[in-house]
Structure 1
Amino acid sequence: MFWLWMFLIYWLLLFVASFIVTEYGQRYFYDEVTPLAGLKVGASSLAMAAFLTWWDPSSVDMVTTDVAYTAMLAIAGFVLFCLVLQFHASHALLLGPVAVVLVAFTAAMAMDSLKAGPRANMRDRPIPPQQRSIRKSASSTVNMPTQGDEEPAPTPEKATAPAGP
């Protein structure tokens, strides 16, 4: 059942980011938005969310061992922005991979956090004082003089030391 939540989170994040990039990008570059842009963004973000749910990346794996899948995701972002969302190729090359990979990376970090559960939050908290062992200083064994004494009481080191000439 967790995969359904994963899919919905990926789809929501990709839809919102792609819609904002499409809306402002097409207004900036072409002075108008293509017709049915919301449905096109919904379909393309649905496809990317399905791929991310199938892949189930972790944020660390996206930039290390599974960098080939990340490159494939960037290529898919370019293709979807160029063909489905109708950006020119140079604009799709600029906006598509950057938007898709950044949103996928942040969504993967969110999924990592949800998978770890509440234990991950407890890992970085300091240990309460009741559970910590307190180390005593070495000077705590020395007898301190009381108010009426003129000389401090001899310590074990002074009592065993030989008297000098």
Structure 2
Amino acid sequence: MDLPTVLISGVVAGLVAGLVTLRTTERKIAIENITQQRNVWRDKVREKALEVSKAYKDSDTTKMKSLYGEFQLFLNPEDNDDKSILDTLWAMQSKDGNSDVAIELIEKLALLLKYDWERAKLETKPAWHFWGKPKRISYTNFKNKRNAKAANKSINRTNLRGT
């Protein structure tokens, strides 16, 4: 090999190493900042969910309207599942404190938080782990599974009593 070929190879190797280092550093900074902000967001959603439960129990419609506005700012207005959460919050303003709608809201928020947690975990993994993105379970599917499970338990209890 001649000297120019060796020098050019060294320069190319240095450039590639520099670009890889730059990309790795940028990714690390982005992951740290995004995951920290998502953690703050999840904590705020949990905190506001507790406030909604208290306001609903106390039948404080003024507070419920205020919390509805806050959730509008937390959630994605383009996402149907997020709109469903807002619809549930809106419905809670006209109900008494003894309805199952409060449980429905908590379940919807739990599904949202679980989805966001899974998405955050996936994004912190190396790039070759991005085979797909996590799927958000719709509340309807969740409720159907829960109802089916409850029905199966009821059938099993009936069968045990009958034998």
Common topology (TM > 0.5): no
Structure (1 or 2) with the larger CA radius of gyration: 1
Higher helix fraction (1 or 2)? 2
With the length of structure 1 as denominator, give the TM-score of the two structures: 0.27
